[in-house]
Chains A and B, each alone.
Chain A
Amino acid sequence: DVKVTQSSRYLVKRTGEKVFLECVQDMDHENMFWYRQDPGLGLRLIYFSYDVKMKEKGDIPEGYSVSREKKERFSLILESASTNQTSMYLCASSLPGTALGYTFGSGTRLTVV
C-alpha cells in the first residue's frame, strides 16, 4: 500500500521555536506539497516541490520555508513559530502533472502556545 507518512500526528511548540514538520513518501513521486487546513478556509498551499532541491511558493508561504534534499522527503520549517500558525498541516505527493490527483498523509496538528 502506497503511503505518505507525516512523522507526528500532534505537536505542541512554544512561540518563537523553530519547528520542523517531516513528510516521507514511498511512491517515487516527483511532486510534493505542503498545505495548511483551517476551519472555514479549506486547504491553502504553502509550498510545493517538483524535484529534489527545487521549490515553489504557494499561496501563503510567509513564515515558512521548505527543504527537499532527497526525493522521498519534504520538510516544512517554521522559522519562528507564532500562534497564528496553529493549524492542521497536510503533506501530499503526486506524479508529474495532476491528472492522477494527490496522495495525502494523515496530517500533523500543530499547536503553538
Chain B
Amino acid sequence: AQSVTQLDSQVPVFEEAPVELRCNYSSSVSVYLFWYVQYPNQGLQLLLKYLSGSTLVKGINGFEAEFNKSQTSFHLRKPSVHISDTAEYFCAVTEPGYSTLTFGKGTMLLVSP
C-alpha cells in the first residue's frame, strides 16, 4: 500500500527567504509523485509532477522538486517566497496503472513580511 508523510504541518517563513517542504513516500515499486497547492477557499491546483526521467522537476510559480529514490523523498523547494505563496501544499503518490492518488496530510506555508 502507498502512503505519504509530510513531515511538517506548518512552515513559517519570511518573504524572500528560501523554503523546503518535505515529503516522504512509501511504495515498493515505481511511482508517480505530485505536489498540489490549495489557496484559501479554493480547490487544489497542480504545481508539478514527477513521472520519470530527470529527478529535478520544475513547476509553476517558481517551485521545483527533487525525486530521491534512495531516500523515498520528493521535497518541494522555492528559492525566494512571496506573500502570495501562503497556502496549503499537498504531496501525493500513485503507481503506474493505479486509478487513485494517495495524499499527505498537507503542509501550511505561512509567509510573513
Contacts and interface: CB of A to CB of B under 8 A. Distances in A.
Interface of A: 4, 31, 33, 35, 40-43, 45, 48, 50, 56, 58, 90, 92, 96-99, 101-107
A58 B94 CA distance: 14
A19 B105 CA distance: 26
Contacts of A105: 43
Given A31-B99, A98-B98, A104 B44 contact: yes
Contact of A106 (B34, B43, B101, B103): B43
A66 B109 CA distance: 34
Interface residues of B, number: 26
B105 A41 contact: yes
18 contacts: A31-B99, A40-B9, A42-B6, A42-B104, A42-B106, A48-B99, A48-B100, A56-B99, A90-B43, A96-B99, A97-B98, A98-B98, A99-B32, A99-B96, A102-B44, A102-B46, A104-B43, A106-B43
Given A40-B9, A99-B51, A104 B45 contact: yes
A107 B51 contact: no
Contacts of B104: 42
A43 B96 contact: no
B112 to A, nearest CB: 21
Nearest to B34: A101
Contacts of A99: 32, 51, 96
A48 B104 CA distance: 18
B37 to A, nearest CB: 11
B42 interface: yes
Contacts of A42: 6, 90, 103-106
B70 to A, nearest CB: 23
Contacts of A90: 43-44
Contacts of A43: 44, 90, 103
B24 to A, nearest CB: 14
Contacts of A4: 43
Contacts of B32: 98-99
